[in-house]
């Protein structure tokens, strides 16, 4: 019996070989495409830097009003007198004891003359009473006068002496009234208000002028209760006027109370005395400033390394694969061209120093050395 030979193996081998050939061809084509595809291009050429430690000043910003250190109210001490002369006006610089205004002294001079005459009369009566008392004393041992008469003469002598003292007091009062006809400055300073009018008849205690004593002004800064403990008397404050002028002040006193509504306290800062009419600060002016509270160590990066987006601050860290990672950071103080990074950045991180504003998270960059600034010869 003859057997029929089957030959499926060659057919199977042929199919497997064809599949293998197709796989090899696809792999070669993929390799060729990979070799032909260009390498990814960097999105930007940047320079990098590492955070640096620096000593930065501790500053506390505040706002407040400028006010007079002390404002003296100068009033009238004469009653029913006419104001004859006003010698100063608002803004004038005066010295202690300088005459500011003069009242009419005609009636006061008449009263003064009458008081002098009354004193002379009292002194004459006292002299006569003293002479009578001396004669009575000589007759005391003779018995010519009774004890009652002698006592009466002695009493009249003492009454005469008392009337002399009363007349002297009346004269001193009239002399004081004459002195009060001249209104003088109680201290040196600047006239800040004037209500005196020539011809007016004013009563005792009527306000005539206001005086900023010694021309001293103070900045009353408003500080929150949480920041109040950081400020001590004697601390330095830099105060900026509305015109932009900046002066150095000194903390005189920290307010002992906190406002129940605003929860702010006042810090009183003495400003330099400036009596010139064009002085940068005036009473009632609003001013801003900052308190210098010392220094502390801080981690800083260049300001151009920080990108602000949607109200948040970011830096870009350069990774080993030349791609950048966007890191959200918390910034703090600024000095010069550097800014403090409070949180969100490691001290040894390599961050993009230039071009950060044009990068996105994951961008491929090319890092080049920072250009060296040639020194001037």
Inform me whether the pLDDT recorded for 247 exceeds 80: yes
In the prediction, which pLDDT does 226 show?
86
CB 287 within 8 A of CB 269: no
In the prediction, which pLDDT does 168 show?
94
In the prediction, which pLDDT does 293 show?
87
Residues forming a β-bridge with 72: 211
Distances (CA, A) of 197 to 66, 79, 80, 93: 29, 15, 14, 19
Q: Could you give the angle at the alpha carbon of 100 between the alpha carbons of 94 and 106, nearest 5°? A: 160
CB 332 within 8 A of CB 303: no
Inform me whether the pLDDT recorded for 36 exceeds 60: no
Question: What tokens appear for 149 in the block?
Answer: 């008469």
Tens-digit pLDDT profile for residues 69-102: 999 999 998 888 999 999 999 989 999 999 999 9
Cα–Cα distance between 54 and 52 in angstroms, integer?
Answer: 6
Top pLDDT among 40 and 349 is at 349
In the chain, % of residues over pLDDT 70? 85
In the prediction, which pLDDT does 213 show?
93
Give residue 5's pLDDT band: very low, low, confident or very high (50, 70, 90): very low
In the prediction, which pLDDT does 375 show?
37
CB 250 within 8 A of CB 270: yes
Pick the closest to residue 298 from 362, 262, 343, 238 (CA basis). 343
Cα–Cα distance between 148 and 276 in angstroms, integer?
Answer: 76
Domains in the chain, CATH or no CATH each: 45-56+296-367 (2.40.420.20), 61-69+216-295 (2.40.30.170), 71-210 (2.40.50.100)
Phi, psi (degrees; rounded to nearest 5) at 375 = -75, 140
Burial 157-193 (b: 16+ CB within 10 A, else e): beebbebbeebeebbeebeebbebbebebeebbbbbe
Cα–Cα distance between 272 and 281 in angstroms, integer?
Answer: 10
For 101, other C-beta atoms within 10 Å of its C-beta total 22
Q: Which residue has the tokens 């600060």?
A: 281
Instruction: Tell me the mean pLDDT in the region 311-324.
Output: 91
Please give the helix or strand (H or E) that residue 127 lies within, else none. Answer: helix 106-138
Cα–Cα distance between 30 and 273 in angstroms, integer?
Answer: 85
CB 226 within 8 A of CB 264: no
Cα–Cα distance between 46 and 359 in angstroms, integer?
Answer: 10
Let me know how long the chain is.
377
Top pLDDT among 230 and 38 is at 230
Please state at what angle helix 147-180 crosses helix 106-138, rounded to 10 degrees: 160
Average pLDDT, the chain: 85
Tens-digit pLDDT profile for residues 148-182: 777 887 888 899 999 999 999 999 999 999 999 99
Inform me whether the pLDDT recorded for 40 exceeds 90: no
Tens-digit pLDDT profile for residues 128-146: 988 888 877 776 666 667 7
Return the minimum-mean-pLDDT range out of 12-21, 100-109, 273-282, 350-359: 12-21
Give residue 32's pLDDT band: very low, low, confident or very high (50, 70, 90): low
Pick the closest to residue 118 from 168, 64, 78 (CA basis). 168
Distances (CA, A) of 317 to 207, 266, 332: 70, 44, 19
């Amino acid at each position: 019996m003859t057997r029929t030979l089957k030959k499926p193996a060659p057919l199977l081998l042929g199919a497997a070989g064809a599949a293998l050939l197709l796989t090899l061809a696809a792999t070669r084509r993929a390799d060729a495409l990979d070799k032909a595809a260009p390498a990814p291009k960097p999105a930007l050429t940047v320079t990098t830097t590492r955070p640096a430690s620096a000593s930065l000043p501790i500053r506390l910003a505040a706002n407040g009003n400028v006010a007079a250190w002390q404002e003296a109210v100068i009033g009238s001490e004469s009653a029913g007198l006419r104001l004859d002369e006003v010698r100063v006006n608002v803004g004038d610089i005066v010295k202690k004891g300088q005459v500011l205004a003069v009242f009419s002294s005609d009636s006061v001079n008449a009263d003064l003359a009458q008081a002098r005459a009354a004193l002379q009369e009292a002194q004459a009566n006292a002299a006569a009473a003293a002479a009578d008392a001396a004669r009575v004393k000589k007759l005391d041992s003779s018995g010519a006068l009774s004890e009652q008469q002698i006592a009466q003469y002695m009493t009249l002598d003492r009454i005469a002496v008392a009337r002399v003292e009363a007349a002297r007091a009346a004269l001193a009062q009239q002399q004081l009234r004459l002195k009060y006809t001249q209104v003088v400055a109680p201290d040196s300073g600047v006239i800040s208000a004037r209500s005196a009018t020539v011809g007016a008849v004013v009563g005792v205690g009527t306000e005539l002028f206001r005086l900023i004593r010694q021309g001293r002004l103070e900045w009353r800064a408003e500080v929150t209760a949480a920041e109040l403990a950081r400020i001590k008397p004697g601390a330095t404050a830099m105060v900026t006027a509305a015109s932009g002028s900046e002066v150095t002040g000194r903390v005189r006193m920290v307010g002992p109370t906190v406002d129940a509504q605003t929860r702010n306290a006042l810090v009183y800062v003495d400003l330099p005395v400036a009596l010139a009419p064009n002085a940068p600060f005036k009473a009632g002016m609003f001013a801003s400033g900052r308190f210098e509270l010392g220094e502390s160590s801080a981690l800083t990066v260049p300001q151009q390394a920080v990108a602000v987006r949607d109200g948040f601050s970011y830096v870009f860290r350069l990774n080993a694969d030349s791609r950048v990672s966007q890191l959200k950071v918390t910034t703090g103080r600024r000095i010069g061209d550097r800014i403090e990074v409070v949180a969100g950045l490691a001290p040894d991180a390599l961050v993009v120093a230039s071009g950060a504003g044009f990068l996105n998270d994951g961008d491929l960059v090319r890092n080049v050395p920072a250009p060296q600034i040639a020194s001037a010869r």
